Structure 1
Amino acid sequence: MKAKFLARCKLAAAGLLAIVATGCSLLPTDKERVVEPTEPSLSPVIEVSEDYYGSILPYKPNQTRGMLSENKFRIDFSHLELGMMEFARDTYPTSSFLFQEGQQIQKEQVRAWIAEEKAGAATGQRKTGLLVHVMEHNYLNKETQQLAGMALGLSLSPVYQDATGQEKRYTVQELQERGQQLATKIVQSVRGKNLQVPLLIMLYQVPDVSSSLVPGNFIMSGTVNANESAISKWQAIEEEFFLFPSPEVASKYAQQSLQYDKFMRESQSFFRDFIGMTGVGRFMGGNLTELTITATAEYDSRTEVLQFTQFAANNIDQLFDKSVHVNMYVQAMNKPLAVYIRPVKGEPYMHIYR
């Protein structure tokens, strides 16, 4: 049995090496490859797949690491990072580029951009700061391991104070317009450092300070060709996040809200122990594309966990369209109990923690 298993492993490894070798032989040479930013797109769901960027050793952390703790705004770091990488794949494919955290822009430069923007308050406004943070990602040529492209994520706050000190909010359109103006200045500053590689610019609206579950969202992307300082094209992004259940999602997306309410009622009524359930839905262009459900309960037996997870998984398939990627996490107060993932493509996955 052991010999057969080892033989299968060797065969699989040989097949994998053959595939990798074939893929590498099809890559263009440095002379053939011309990198120009393509029109970036944010996929409806950040899929867990093997399409990840490789990196180089030793691993170098971002030069601006730690800056997020310097301000009062909550930035959903994971969504910002993964979203930026989703955009970058359109211009810097994982087959040809390596990923490296930002190494070109220092903390002092980001602080200077934030201070400069804050000082340029419009007449009649008491500035609280539009620019919150700038995240940099670097993309290296896979063969030469030299810098071949950059992505910059500009985190923006929609909240400001008027001349009387009253708190106001920019509309999405107003935030996009101000973000574009700010991005133009930052791109010119980057070009002043003799960084002439292609640039991807992403405008990211930070979540409300009081929001602990709902992340921020991308509102616009722009591209800059190599050796140019003007942003060649802007593209609006319609990304929204809503908490389930909530009055906000019930008001704007009544059908999806009712589906979730039914799912929650049936799940809670099936078991005698109380089950707390919260959901976060991601909408792209007005369509629900991803739903993450967290169910919290104190179970004494793993069989009960198994029964509940199977029951909930069946309800998910009955109530939510197959075009919605669903993540469900079952947990106790201090430990995970089970996970169920239903991707848009591929087979569902369920695991019960022992």
Structure 2
Amino acid sequence: MKKISVLIIMLLVISACAPSYDKQEEVVEETKDDTQQQTAIVPSYNISNENYKVLLPYEPSEARGIIVNQMANRLDIDEFEEGLRRQSKEIFKPSNYYFQEGQYLGEDTVLNWLGRTMTDKQVDDYLSENKDLYKNDAEKQELKESLQIGLNPPIAEDELKEEDFRESPKYLSHILEQNFLKKGANDAVKLGGISIGLAMKSTYRFQTEIGGPYYYEDIPKADMLTEGKKIAEKIVDRLRQMDNLGDVPIMIGLYREEEQSAIVPGNFVAKTTVAGDKNSIGEWEPINEEYVLYPSNELKDKYFDDNESLKEFEQQVRKYFPNYVGVIGKAFYVNGNLQRLTIDLPIEFYGKAEVIGFTQYVYGLVMETFKNYFDLEVNIMSNDKQEALIVRKAGESEPYVYVYDQ
């Protein structure tokens, strides 16, 4: 009888602690064409106050997925998306806004905008050869504007030479849209802000003929910024002409990509915000962020103390396991201050006990070597699989440790 009573009590406790899905908040979401409304669910819990809540059901962007064909470095793709969200938090606070993938720039729009605009001669030639496509001057003008929708600079198509591409590189790689929704009266949720990320090349790779060799042209940061700001002005003008975007605050961030073979991503270099009652861009704010690799001369020259800490850490690892491959560190800085450090330790193990012992040793090194004012992540790997993870958030005294059971 006592066993039954205990079981009943346990069931009551479990049911009391179980999530109550019928108490989830429901809101009314206005669609982008403003002609319909749909019920959306606000998750009861959030991973942290630093993250946006996302309405359910999840609304993917119409341009979702095309980024993988526009940006050559996988690290850039991840940082571009996450970095834009991070920059947006200063304008659209997670406590006041919900996050949604971009709903206004579809796949065709993005791809057309990423193309080159036509030269005046190319436009005139096209219009002369295709008079059946327009009936009057108004239609002719509309067609002309559609031919010049590309945001990358024009280039002549007759007998192209290597110099032509070098003098007129493609600066813009990708356009990323993120939406931020805000709840108003009667639980109605509507668009409260939009962020646009412009991925700009640091190196232009091109061919002068199909199947020919690839050439490379470095793009100075100053040139990239100049072109990026011109492109941003055009995008703001186009967004303001779209339904429901005439008076919505717009944040635009310029992201400078790393080269294709880089093992650290690029970073955002500038941003600006256009208020809801403005139609043009005012001042730009420089962004001082960067990823720096360890080991590298750049880290040694710019952040000597951090380099020495990593060097000491590596030396201590070598004492325990002299045949390890080497420490690979990726440090993220904002305004010269270390914000996040990721360390990869690729080592070959021959048993779980060895993994546990090594992880315990590295745990102690983390406690002794690194201060706790930045986020720290240590990945212990063997044969391309994760063996253990050590994580410490900024401000925490002790790390979290997890050994994978594989």
The normalised TM-score by structure 2 is 0.70
Aligned to 1:340: 390
Instruction: Report SS of the residue matched to 2:81.
Output: helix
Match of 2:369 in 1: 319
Distance change >3 Å, CA 185–CA 321, structure 1 → 2 = same
Q: Measure how far apart 1:79 and its partner are.
A: 1.9
Runs of 4+ displaced beyond 4 Å: 11-14
Q: Which residue of 2 aligns with 1:56?
A: 55
2:196 to 134, 152, 175: 152
Alignment gaps of 5+ in structure 2: 1-5, 27-46, 116-149, 156-162, 206-214
Question: For residues 58 and 12 of structure 1, what CA distance do their matches in structure 2 show?
Answer: 22
Within the alignment, does 1:137 sit opposite 2:178 as a pair?
yes
The code of the aligned residue for 2:344 comes to: T
Length, aligned pairs only: 321
Aligned partner of 2:160 in structure 1 is none
Aligned-partner SS, 2:198: strand
1:56-96 deviation line (CA, Å, top 9, x unaligned) = 34323222223224336325222222222222233333333
Alignment correspondent of 1:37: none
Q: Which residue of 1 aligns with 2:167?
A: 126
**Does the C-alpha gap of structure 1 residues 175 and 320 become closer, same or farther in structure 2, counting only changes over 3 Å?**
farther
Q: For residue 404 of structure 2, what is the aligned residue in structure 1?
A: 353
Q: Does 1:267 align with 2:338?
A: no
> What SS does the aligned partner of 1:81 have?
helix
Deviates more, 1:71-80 or 1:150-159: 71-80
- Kindly report which structure 2 residues correspond to 1:204-353, keeping only aligned pairs within 5 A, or say none: 204-211=255-262, 213-271=263-321, 273-346=323-396, 347-353=398-404
In the other structure, the counterpart of 2:98 is: 98
Change in Cα spacing, 1:50 to 1:10, as seen in structure 2 (3 Å) is farther
SS at match of 1:119: coil
- Tell me, yes or no, if the aligned pair for 1:282 and 1:288 is still in contact at 8 Å: yes
Q: Higher mean Cα deviation, 317-326 or 191-200?
A: 317-326
Question: What is the correspondence of 1:175-194 to structure 2 with a 5 Å cutoff?
Answer: 175-194=224-243
Matched, 1:7 2:13: yes
Judge conservation of contact 2:250–2:276 (CA < 8 Å) in 1. yes
Question: Separation in 1 of the partners of 2:338 and 2:323?
Answer: 30
**How far 1:262 moved relative to its partner?**
1.8
* Alignment deviations for residues 262-291 of structure 1 (CA, whole Å, 9 cap, x no partner): 211211221255244211111111222211
Residue of structure 2 in register with 1:85 after alignment? 85
Separation in 2, partners of 1:59, 1:8: 29
What secondary structure does 2:151 align onto? helix
Please, what is the CA RMSD of the aligned residues?
Answer: 3.1
Conservation of the 8 A alpha-carbon contact between 1:134 and 1:154: yes
CA contact under 8 A between 2:68 and 2:77: conserved in structure 1? no
Per the TM alignment, residue 206 of structure 1 is displaced from its structure 2 partner at its CA by 1.1
Letter in 2 for 1:129: K
Q: Percent of aligned pairs with the same residue?
A: 28
TM-superposed CA distance for 1:205, in Å, is 0.9
Consecutive unaligned residues in structure 1, runs of 5 or more:
25-47
Q: 1:325: how far off?
A: 1.4
Paired residue secondary structure (2:189): coil
Which stretch has the larger CA shift, 213-222 or 3-12? Answer: 3-12
CA distance in 1, matches of 2:391, 2:79: 18
Contact 2:97–2:180 (8 Å) recurs in 1? yes
For residues 178-222 of structure 1, the C-alpha deviation after alignment (integer angstroms, 9 at most, x for no partner) is 3222211111111111312111111111111111x2012111111
Q: Which residue of 2 aligns with 1:28?
A: none
Cα distance, 1:12 vs. partner?
9.1
Number of the residue aligned with 1:70:
69
Deviation at 1:141, TM superposition (A): 2.5
Change (3 A) 1:104 1:302: same
Give the structure 2 partner of residue 199 of structure 1.
250
Amino acid at match of 2:98: L
SS at match of 2:152: helix
Structure-2 change in CA distance of 1:330 and 1:144 (3 Å): same
Preserved CA contact (<8 Å) 2:196 2:252: yes
Between the aligned partners of 1:345 and 1:9, the Cα distance in structure 2 is 35
The farther-off stretch of 328-337 and 265-274 is: 265-274
Partner of 1:257, secondary structure, is helix
- 1:117 corresponds to: 151
Q: Distance in 2 between matches of 1:186 and 1:250?
A: 40
